[in-house]
């Protein structure tokens, strides 16, 4: 907490603000703020998004962790090889490439750039 004082030094008066500093080893008091997450409101409503991750033809590509879709590198109908980058997901300030472990054809991309996703959400279907 800041306190304001008037101090006179050698006949000259100064207005100063002083903050109380706790002794070494004392616990710091930091005001806490409630954490905010995108949650369900952060996921855009797409008519074909698989929010419940129900079974779909082909193999689902799921988000390994919560984050935001930065880019989409494949489109429905694209043939992909094992290890090809399908999407880029930003999580914890890091860009994570989402790849598929097998060759196949992209059936559906269920997200858009800028979408917030939760871990386990289906991002794409590859057959």
Find the domain containing 72 and state its range.
48-126
Say how far apart CA 48 and CA 70 lie, in whole Å.
Answer: 20
Q: What confidence tier does 28 reach under pLDDT thresholds 50, 70, 90?
A: low
Number of domains in the chain: 1
**Is 38 among the domain residues?**
no
Return the CATH number at 78: 2.40.50.100
**Is 37 among the domain residues?**
no
**Is 89 among the domain residues?**
yes
**Is 116 among the domain residues?**
yes
Examine the pLDDT at 54 and tell me if it is beyond 50. no
pLDDT in tens, 83-95: 898 999 998 888 9
**Is 119 among the domain residues?**
yes
pTM: 0.54
């Amino acid at each position: 907490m800041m306190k304001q004082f008037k101090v006179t030094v050698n006949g000259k008066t100064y207005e100063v603000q002083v903050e109380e500093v706790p002794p070494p080893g004392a616990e710091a008091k930091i005001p806490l703020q409630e954490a905010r997450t995108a949650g369900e409101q952060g996921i855009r409503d797409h008519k074909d998004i698989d929010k419940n991750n129900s079974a779909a033809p082909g193999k689902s590509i799921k988000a390994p962790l919560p984050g935001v879709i930065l880019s989409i590198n494949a489109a429905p109908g694209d043939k992909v090889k094992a290890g090809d980058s399908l999407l880029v997901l930003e999580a914890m300030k890091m860009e994570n490439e989402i790849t598929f472990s097998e060759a196949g054809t992209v059936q559906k991309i269920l997200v858009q750039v800028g979408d917030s996703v939760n871990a386990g959400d289906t991002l794409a279907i590859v057959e």
